[in-house]
Amino acid sequence: MKIKKAVIPVGGLGTRFLPYTKVIPKEMLPIWDIPIIQFIIEEAINSGIDSILFVTSKEKYSIEDYFDRNFYLEYFLNKNKDKEKLDILNKIPQNFKIYSVRQKEARGLGDAILHAEDFISDDYFAVFLPDDLIFSKKPVIKQMIEVLEKYRKPVLGVERVPWKMVDAYGIIKPRMIAKRIFEIEDIVEKPKKNKAFSNLGVVGRYILPGNIFSYIKKTKPGVKGEIQITDSLRILMKEQGILAYEFEGIRCDTGNKYDYLLAILTYANMKKDLKNKIKKDIKKIFKIKI
């Protein structure tokens, strides 16, 4: 079963990153020299996806600009025969299609995904939340497509989160059916620790069915008038069943300042040329004796 389309909601206000996000989207924050959003697009491409839809909002146009060509820069680099930089500039294949639609008001993730209704005509599609940057050998969405191919059901990416953090996630009640794969028996958004079914939290990777939109339309607005995708998934789970997949990879939550810093360090730790230098400098900064 091929998945060709993905939706990438970037319509949130990013208030945890203010004042930076007043004019610059958090998805454009760099991990070393690469904007977070480029890692996400590369994960999509390496999973076989050939077109994506950004659900954007005001002040987010730099994301679309970033994936457009910059003829002036190309002309300049061509003139200087700087092939290395030209290659860096044109990493996204020309035939990879990028569409966008604007969410006029940040009315929640469910509402953002609903904006993709006209874009999706397939049985299943992927959703990436760029806050969750996942470093893995095999792209996480590709791992999840393999689960879909075997079980033919929607799949949510899940991770064991620290128990003290369960109130920050959609938490599932799991029934294990194979290694890393669970049938979801219930799902609740941000439960208190003593009410949580497990510590398996839903993170920003979803394989959703093409009929999810009818479930979102049935979902009543929750806190702050936002349409929570977890509420729509709960209805879908009861009617069609949903699986959870505990993916392989290191996830960094780049949506908050502290974990964003850890994401950069995690990346540096994977780069031979950076690893030792950073280690030494950190020891120096924190006055750790060698």
Q: Which residues contact ligand UTP by CB under 6 A?
A: 9-16, 55, 103, 106-109, 111-112, 129-131, 255
Nearer to ligand UTP, 148 or 203 (CB): 203
CB of 227 to ligand UTP, least distance (A): 8
CB of 129 to ligand UTP, least distance (A): 4
Report the distance separating Cα 27 and Cα 39, nearest Å.
Answer: 10
CB of 279 to ligand UTP, least distance (A): 31
DSSP state of 4: -
CB of 9 to ligand UTP, least distance (A): 3
Residues forming beta bridges with residue 34, ordered by sequence position: 31
Q: Is 43 helix (H, G, I), strand (E, B) or coil?
A: helix
DSSP state of 220: P
Nearer to ligand UTP, 108 or 209 (CB): 108
CA dist 81 → 89, 169, 189 (Å): 14, 49, 53
Nearer to ligand UTP, 69 or 102 (CB): 102
CB of 184 to ligand UTP, least distance (A): 20
Q: How do 155-160 and 200-209 pair as beta strands?
A: antiparallel
Nearer to ligand UTP, 10 or 141 (CB): 10
Q: Side chain identity at 140, as an amino acid letter? A: V
Of 197, 169, 193, residue with least CA distance to 184: 197
Nearer to ligand UTP, 183 or 206 (CB): 206
